[in-house]
């Protein structure tokens, strides 16, 4: 598994891959708020995109959105990568909206009451 920042062409391609209605917050990060966001992808060893995490600059708190393409995604390592790449302070907490359909994967990987900026390996 590896992570990297997504390029503008890849972001354009994402517009054809995501469902606007079920990923509305991420869709706004990808379109309306695109100039204020940075997007990082997590890829499988064979290059499949497993998930994307986008960070929104300019708010008084750490805001992000995401889109998941596979249950193989490791949310913890993607969050850790974003935190390190953006040099976000230890102890700060990020905020996002997690719809009911994604709650089980977030809960199983991060716990129900954990801050989102936590380090560690995906099990």
List, for residues 29-84, the tens digit of each pLDDT value. Answer: 999 999 999 999 999 999 999 999 999 999 998 899 999 999 899 998 998 899 99
**Superfamily of 2-110 according to CATH:** Gcn5-related N-acetyltransferase (GNAT) (3.40.630.30)
Of 3, 26, 35, 45, the C-alpha closest to 98 is 26
Cα 100 to Cα 31: distance, rounded to the nearest angstrom: 23
Say what the pTM is.
0.86
């Amino acid at each position: 598994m590896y992570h990297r920042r997504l390029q503008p062409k890849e972001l354009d391609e994402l517009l054809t891959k995501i469902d606007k209605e079920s990923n509305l917050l991420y869709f706004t990060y990808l379109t309306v708020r695109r100039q204020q966001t940075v997007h990082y992808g997590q890829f499988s060893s064979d290059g499949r995109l497993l998930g994307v995490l986008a960070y929104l600059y300019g708010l008084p708190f750490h805001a992000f959105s995401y889109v998941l393409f596979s249950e193989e995604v490791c949310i913890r390592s993607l969050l850790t990568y974003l935190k390190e790449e953006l040099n976000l302070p230890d102890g700060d907490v990020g905020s996002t909206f997690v719809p009911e359909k994604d709650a089980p994967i977030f809960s199983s990987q991060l716990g129900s009451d954990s801050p989102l900026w936590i380090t560690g390996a995906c099990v």
